[in-house]
Amino acid sequence: MKQLLTKLLLVIFIASPFIARADEGMWLPMFVSRLNYTDMQKMGLQLTPEEIYSINNSSLKDAIVMLSGGSCTSELISSEGLLLTNHHCAYGAIQGNSTPDHDYLTDGFWAMSKDQELQAEGMTASLLIRMEDVTEKVLSELSEDMSESERDKMIAQVSDSLSNEAEEGTDYNATVKSFFEGNEFYLFVYITYEDVRLVGAPPSSIGKYGGDTDNWMWPRHTGDFSLLRIYTAPDGSPAGFAEENVPFKPQHHLPVSLEGVKANDFAMIMGYPGSTDRYLTSTGVSMAVELDQPARIKIRRKKLDIYKKYMNQSDDIRIKYASKYARVSNYWKYFIGQTTQVKKNRVIEKKEKIEKDFQMWADKGSNDNYKMALQWIDEGYEGIEPYKLSSTYLGEALFGSEIMLFAYRLSGLQGALSAEEPDQEKIDAQIQSARGRGAKHFKDYEEVIDRKVTAAMFEMYHSAIPSEQQPDDFLNMVKKNKGDFTKMVDKMFDKSFLSNETSFNEFLDDPSAKEMQKDPAMTLAMSFLMNFRGEIRAAMMESYSKMDKGNRYFVAGLREFQPSKSFYPNANSTMRLTYGQVLPYSPYDAVSYNFFTTIDGVMEKEDQDNPEFIVPEKLKKLHAEKDYGQYADKDGNLHVCFLSNNDITGGNSGSPVINGKGHLIGLAFDGNWEAMSGDIFFENKVQRTISVDIRYVLFIMDKYAGATNLIDELTLVRPVKKAPLPAETKNLQLKDYAE
């Protein structure tokens, strides 16, 4: 049985099973030679498979970095550990280092020397050492007569054993991941660095140009990039932030191309896509777009409105809540787009066609599990449907309240204090962890905002969820306060030591289980959690087990159904490679989009009365003087963004776009609106990746920011200038042409 709490608290990105085309597919790089290499060569790849992925020699994989466990991707671009990623990926670090006096969100930040670089607190950088197929080792411990929960327990045991074996005696961290719905298993071994520092970021008027309006849209004019650096202990080993640490020395860093891109050029992206579900059935898609996502959209819109009201009141609050607002806003619009495009692109009908063909094939065969797979899945969804909104509201609304989430995260301390035989060492460790968590929580916290959000979330939950699925403690509070949620929340905040930093630290100075148990915020958070675990999850467990079993056999059957096809697994925050071409597209009748945008478009969108479209004065001056330096295209203009038909999703933000020579040409940061259903079903004709042109990145670093110290670190690849033709050759050509 999958870990349901984790599954339901996280946003689940959903998608479907289509057979690969050159532009579709998120491939494990260890299989490039076997599955993709010939196609990639035909499209323009000039590297060998060993130069892309190798465990013995330096390869592209050694320049691809997973940020903070998979939140984003970055790439090494210098021999001194310099990382390039998206502005929105480092947004938390930029915001965390900002104050009203040093507003790096508004003004940008550039370290002109290494001693000016700032700690990116909480960020980590992981490099893949190797991946290994451990399917046989896992499956050998499983049997057909196991229940789903027994199967999952055994998988967890074997996975832990394999991970521990890979980590033993090293600085590595390892994990085993499931692929193809539990039919294959792979071990991933990483080395993770905890000292990551902020090096450079443009102002938000460049890095977030267009804001929510342009998010997921084309044409795009956003310089969505920032720079970080990995630091290690003096001996090169991972270490926490320390003054004596030194810049990381990578095995490989990406050369940076000044050649630019043209239509049909080969484009390859390597990164860490977070989550797709392209084997999701039509029933699952229906539940997502008809039940789950409308609720998420409604809840997030309410939070955004409250945040924005207070953010507009002061620079201090604006800075504190900038990162929180961005996180909520990004997938608020994503869910709107996905719901819209699932319907427009007729994804459910496409799924139904696949399922019909599969069932006809399965019914002719002898495998009863294949015959029953889709029925099990449908029955699973039928059993889950009455409780789905409870799980959605738990993650989005109840734990969308900062005080409720904070209380939930302190459950480890409560458990240690409440143990029958308290272990002081464990208690001290939990107290230390709580102090660090509290410092981070209260740094960017406004109690007045959280009171408003919590009251709104409680009211939405109470209105949307059947009363029999709500915990008694909560219902009693609502009744006692006669449905006045503001009054109810104010009482809770007034009596809780979690509502402000002073009372929280006073509690930690002399903590007790009794005080935690009587705290109204802790009590209510635990009540929500226990209600979910004891009532909601329990009611769904059998249905999830049936669905898990059905999905496993459905995917296994699909692969047997079409044995000549190469299938790729869903994204799961493991390194993937996707390849395709730089291409325009035509989303609607009589509408055609070019494959690139220029700085002219930045100026055309300017609106000084709209914070999303303010253009910095210096950028306007550079544009007016056409002072683009070596970063101009052959057409004389400065290109900003470009399109390719690569297959990406969340987690790929910051991934490098690499040409056929292995050189960096761009930085992936978004998908396009017309293909927002792409995580469910790849839309071959219109699905595009939006990337910032690396030349625009360099232009901003050099001409706008004057950070030539960073430009000097890079390995720049300039266009090869062809020698002029001899005069006699020119004459001959002219003569021949004239004749």
Closest C-alpha to 385, from 532, 539, 530: 539
Q: Three-class SS of residue 524?
A: helix
Q: Is residue 719 a contact partner of residue 257, using CB atoms and an 8 Å limit?
A: no
Antiparallel, parallel or unpaired: β 689-693 and 716-717: unpaired
Closest C-alpha to 179, from 560, 567, 565, 546: 567
CA angle 462, 465, 471 (to 5 degrees): 70
Closest C-alpha to 457, from 517, 500, 400: 400
Q: How many CB atoms lie within 10 A of CB 424?
A: 8
Angle between helices 447-464 and 472-480 (to 10 degrees): 110
Q: State the catalytic residue, choosing from 103, 152, 224, 647.
A: 224
Tokens of 337: 């787009």
Q: How many CB atoms lie within 10 A of CB 412?
A: 14
Q: State the catalytic residue, choosing from 23, 71, 87, 88.
A: 88
Q: Is residue 59 a contact partner of residue 53, using CB atoms and an 8 Å limit?
A: yes
Q: State the catalytic residue, choosing from 74, 204, 545, 653.
A: 653
Tokens of 535: 């009532």
What contacts 556, CB < 8 A, 6 or more positions away? 180, 181, 183, 370
Tokens of 26: 């998120």
* C-alpha span between 402 and 325 (Å, rounded): 13
Is 88 tagged catalytic?
yes
Is 224 tagged catalytic?
yes
* C-alpha span between 159 and 182 (Å, rounded): 13
Is 107 tagged catalytic?
no
Q: Is residue 190 a contact partner of residue 126, using CB atoms and an 8 Å limit?
A: yes
* C-alpha span between 330 and 338 (Å, rounded): 12
In the chain, the N- to C-terminal Cα span, in Å, equals 79
Q: Return phi, psi of residue 157, to 5°.
A: -65, -50
Active site amino acids: 88, 224, 653
